[in-house]
Amino acid sequence: MTSIKSPSTKSPINEELERSTSHSRRLRRRDALLGIATPIVLLICWQAASSTNLIDAKIFTPPSTIFTTAITLIHNGVLTHDLAITSLRLIVGFVLGGALGIIVGIFLGIFRTLRAAFSPLFAALYAVPQIAVLPLLLVIFGIGETPKILTVAAVSFFVLEINAMAGVRSIDPQLLEAGRAYGAKGRRLFWHVLVPGSLPAIFTGLRVAAALALVVVTATEFVAANSGLGYLVWNSWQLFEPNEMYVGLITIALVGVVLTGIVELVGRRIMPWSGRNTRD
C-alpha cells in the first residue's frame, strides 16, 4: 500500500523570515550599487566639466589625467612605496593605541575608583590636538618613525578609551543581574556579559578612530616626513604638481574606505546579533 504524501507547507513564521531575508538582500544589493554608481557619476561629471572648460583643468585635473599619473607613479614605485610607508605607520599606531584604549576603557567602566581618578585626566588630554604633541615627541624621540606612530596611537587610544568605557557603563543592569543569576561571576561575567555588551560601542569607536588616525598620520607626514602619502600630497603642492597631489588625496581616501570597511566587516562577524534594521 502506497502512502500519499501531503504537500509540504511552510509556517507563517518561516515565510515571514524568508521574506525578511530576501528584502534584506535586495537592500544590500541596492546599497552596494548606489555606493559604486555615485562616485562613477561624479567622476564622469568632473571629466566632462574639465573637457568643456567649465572648470580650470590646470587646478581641477581631469580624472583621466589623474589615472594616467597614478599608473606612472605605480610603475616608478613612488606611489607603492608611499602607500606602504603610510599603511605601516597607520596600522601599527592604530592597533597599539586602539588595543590599549579598549583595555583601559573597559577597566575604567568597571571600576568606579579608577574612573574617578583617571577620567578627568584623559578628558583633558583628549582635548589637546594630538598633532600638537608631535613637536614634543620629535624632541624626545628624534626624527624617525616613533613620533609618527605614537601620534596615531594617541588619537586611537583616547577614542577607544572613551567608547569602551561608555559601552561598559551603558550595559543594562538587568542584563548583569541575569548573568549573575546564571552563575556568571568574575572572569565569566567579564567575558560573557561585559565584553559582548560593550562591543557595539567599541566598534563605533574603532570606525571613528580609523578615520582620525588616517587624518593624523597624513598630517604628521606633511611636516615631519620625507615619505608617505601625506608627504606626496604636500610635496606635490609645493612643486605645483596637481596631478600627483590628486593621486595622493584619492589614495588616502581609498585607504580610509578600506580600513573602515575592514572594521565594519569584522564587526558584523563578531556581532551577528546587532544587525541593523533594514526597513526603509
Does the pLDDT at position 174 exceed 80? no
Q: Write out pLDDT tens, residues 135-148.
A: 888 889 888 899 99
Residue 53: what pLDDT?
85
Residue 209: what pLDDT?
95
167 and 213 share one domain: yes
What is the 3 state secondary structure string of the chain? CCCCCCCCCCCHHHHHHHHHHHHHHHHHHHHHHHHHHHHHHHHHHHHHHHHCCCCCCCCCCCHHHHHHHHHHHHHCCHHHHHHHHHHHHHHHHHHHHHHHHHHHHHHHHHCHHHHHHHHHHHHHHHHCCHHHHHHHHHHHHCCCHHHHHHHHHHHHHHHHHHHHHHHHHCCCHHHHHHHHHCCCCCHHHHHHHHHHHHHHHHHHHHHHHHHHHHHHHHHHHHHCCCCCHHHHHHHHHHCCCHHHHHHHHHHHHHHHHHHHHHHHHHHHHHCHHHCCCCCC
Residue 105 lies in a domain: yes
- When divided into structural domains, the chain yields a total of 2
Residue 279 lies in a domain: no
Cα separations in angstroms, 99 against 65, 186, 273: 41, 21, 23
66 and 131 share one domain: yes
Instruction: Name the residue with higher pLDDT: 179 or 243.
Output: 243
- pTM reported for the whole predicted model: 0.82
C-beta separation of 150 from 91 below 8 A: no
167 and 52 share one domain: no
The domain that holds 118 is classified in CATH as: 1.10.3720.10
Four-point Cα dihedral 254, 255, 258, 262, nearest 10: -170
Domain that holds residue 160: 61-274
Q: How far apart are CA 17 and CA 141, in angstroms?
A: 58
152 and 183 share one domain: yes
46 and 74 share one domain: no
C-beta separation of 108 from 161 below 8 A: yes
32 and 133 share one domain: no
Which position has the grid cell 605605480? Answer: 74
82 and 193 share one domain: yes
Q: Which of 86, 211, 93, 218 is CA-nearest to residue 151?
A: 93
Q: Write out pLDDT tens, residues 32-83.
A: 888 888 989 998 998 898 888 888 888 888 999 999 999 999 999 999 999 9
Residue 8 lies in a domain: no
Q: How far apart are CA 160 and CA 163, in angstroms?
A: 5
Residue 27 exposure: Cα atoms within 13 Å on the Cβ side: 11
222 and 197 share one domain: yes
Which position has the grid cell 569584522? Answer: 266
Mean pLDDT of the chain, nearest integer:
86
The distance of Cα 22 from the centroid of its chain, to the nearest Å, equals 29
